[in-house]
A = this chain, B = another copy of it.
Amino acid sequence: MNSNQQLLKGSLSVIILKLLEEQERMYGYEITQKVKALTAGQMAITEGALYPALHKLEAEGLLTTETQVVEGRARKYYSLTKDGHTEAVSRISELGIMLENLQRLLTLKPAI
C-alpha cells in the first residue's frame, strides 16, 4: 500500500486551495496533471480522492463551479469564493507550519 505516491492526510484540500490561489479557474483533471507535473511524477492525486474533495469544498462554500464544454468534452471549472480565499490563506499557512515542524523532526541530529 505504501507506494510513495500516497498523500498525507489533510494535504489534498490545501493543495487544491493553493492551486486555485495561483490560478483563477481550474478543472479536476487539470489539477491531477498539474500536481503530477509540479512534482515530477512523484505525487499523483487519485480521482477517487480528488472529486469527493472538490465536492466537499464546494459544499462548504469555498469553491464555486462553472461547467463549460471544450472540444466536445464537458469541463467543470472550480474557483475560490471569498470565503474560499480566506480559508486558503489560513490553511496554507497552517500546513506550512506543520511541514516545518515535520522537517525539523526528520532532520534531527542525535543528541549525544
Expressed in whole angstroms, the Cα–Cα distance for A75 and B80 within the complex equals 50
* Given A95-B106, A106-B92: A101 in contact with B10 (beta carbons within 8 A): no
Task: Specify how many copies of this chain sit in the oligomer.
Answer: 2
A46 to B: closest C-beta gap in Å: 14
The distance in angstroms between the C-alpha atoms of A8 and B97, with both chains bound, is 12
Chain A interface residue bracket vs B: 35 or more
- State which residues 33-83 of A face B: CB under 8 Å: 35, 38-39, 42-43
Q: Give the complex CA separation of A10 and B98 in angstroms.
A: 13
Chain B residue, CB-CB nearest to A101? B39
**B residues less than 8 Å from A7 (CB atoms):** 9
A18 to B109, CA, bound (A): 10
Ranked 4 nearest A-B pairs via Cβ: A9-B9, A8-B8, A39-B101, A22-B110
14 residue pairs from A and B, CB less than 8 Å apart: A4-B94, A6-B10, A7-B9, A8-B9, A22-B108, A22-B110, A22-B111, A23-B111, A35-B105, A39-B105, A43-B101, A43-B105, A92-B106, A96-B103
